[in-house]
Amino acid sequence: MIKNFTFSFFFFFGIIFISIIFLPSLFLPQKFVILGGKLMGYWTNFCLKIFLSTKILVKGNKNIIKNEKFFIAASHQSMFETFFLQTLFNAPVFILKKELLLIPIFGWYLKKIGSISIDRGKVTKNNLDFLEKVYESMLNSNRPLIIFPQGTRVLPDERPPFKRGVSKIYEKLNIACQPVAINSGNVWPKNGEKKSGRTITVSVLPQIDKNLGKEQFLKNLEEKIYHELNLIS
Q: How many Å is the Cα radius of gyration of the chain?
A: 17
- Residue 185: left (phi > 0), alpha (psi -120 to 50), or beta? alpha
CA dihedral (95, 99, 102, 103) positive or negative: negative
Per-residue pLDDT at 98 exceeds 90: no
| DSSP alpha helix (H) spans, 101-199 | 106-112, 125-128, 130-139, 165-173
95 found inside a domain: yes
219 found inside a domain: yes
Residue 191 lies in domain: 55-232
CB-based contact 54:87 (threshold 8 Å):
no
Q: In one letter, which amino acid is 149?
A: P
Number of domains in the chain: 1
211 found inside a domain: yes
pLDDT of residue 14: 95
113 found inside a domain: yes
40 found inside a domain: no
Per-residue pLDDT at 114 exceeds 70: yes
More confident residue, 26 or 219: 219
CB-based contact 142:93 (threshold 8 Å):
no
Q: What is the CATH number of the domain that holds 171?
A: 3.40.1130.10
CB-based contact 74:146 (threshold 8 Å):
yes
The three-class DSSP label of residue 52 is: coil
- Tallying the residues shown for the chain, one arrives at 233
Mean pLDDT of 114-143: 71
Per-residue pLDDT at 122 exceeds 80: no
Measure the CA–CA gap between 137 and 91, rounded to whole angstroms: 13
